[in-house]
A = this chain, B = another copy of it.
């Protein structure tokens, strides 16, 4: 894989400098590139902080701003940020109402966020996202992995925090949204971490990895490349089985690209996923389609379904102004 870069050691910091310059109306950078923060704090508001390894952009820095995150702590590519980054971010965006950490379930992230949570003077809580139904336990995880559903948790919690919900209420809401959310993905190609310089995994020209993780971790099975309809059937089927939804249930459908799949194919997958949902009597109340939780240039996609209440839906629709998601303002 070839990269647009100057020096493999500076990919993250130079990218963050570009990001902060491009979105100077929304965000500011913490010292030493430790975190991306919302430009202006809102006193009295619970601060929402997420983070994780880089390489999944726009997750998480792209979701910092009004109605979503207060700060994001980026680690090196596919590497957890440190507890220090999280504590410094918490100090910077403190609104006096406590801090909520939103963490994807990966062992490194969990350990570091929990350490930050314990060392922090401010009142705080942790919402763990583990929406990936593909496998229990995997390369970097004990229990289910946190993947694209994380952005749905961040959006809904962000809207609730913006309207002044308490830390306890947000913790309860976050756990409920996570429980109502399930995802599964498929990879057609590998990705290459610039510092590694070679593909994370090998995959044949006629193969796909069903249930892949967002770092290219193995999923359920390696099988011959199937049709879009067959893939949608397997991914959506697994997600619906996990959520055990009733016919008539309203959902948010997120068809998420891993980075290397063209938008023309993602919308084709939307069409394929809708056919499966229709057959189960599930009604798509809202769509989001695009490469939002990526694995560098990996080809493939994931399907995420969140079963919504009217409350979830109102919070999803609430105004948001971030680099990657913007509506209502």
Contact = CB atoms under 8 A, between A and B. Distances in A.
A301 B4 contact: yes
A289 B14 CA distance: 15
Interface of A: 2-7, 11-12, 14-19, 21-23, 54-55, 57-58, 62, 77, 188-189, 205-206, 208, 225, 227-229, 231, 259-272, 274, 284, 287, 289, 291, 294, 296-297, 299-301, 326-329
Given A5-B265, A18-B270, A21-B271, 13 more contacts: A2-B188, A2-B206, A2-B208, A4-B268, A4-B301, A6-B268, A11-B268, A15-B264, A22-B267, A57-B263, A291-B291, A327-B329, A328-B329
Closest 10 CB pairs of A and B: A18-B271, A18-B270, A18-B267, A22-B287, A57-B263, A4-B265, A15-B268, A2-B188, A15-B267, A19-B267
Give the copy number.
2
Nearest to A7: B227
Contact of A57 (B205, B228, B262, B274): B262
B259 A262 contact: yes
B297 A260 contact: yes
Contacts of A264: 11-12, 15, 54-55, 57, 77, 296
A152 to B, nearest CB: 16
Contacts of A231: 4
B6 A228 contact: yes
Given A262-B294, A262-B297, A264-B296, A270 B22 contact: yes
Given A259-B262, A262-B294, A301-B4, A14 B272 contact: yes
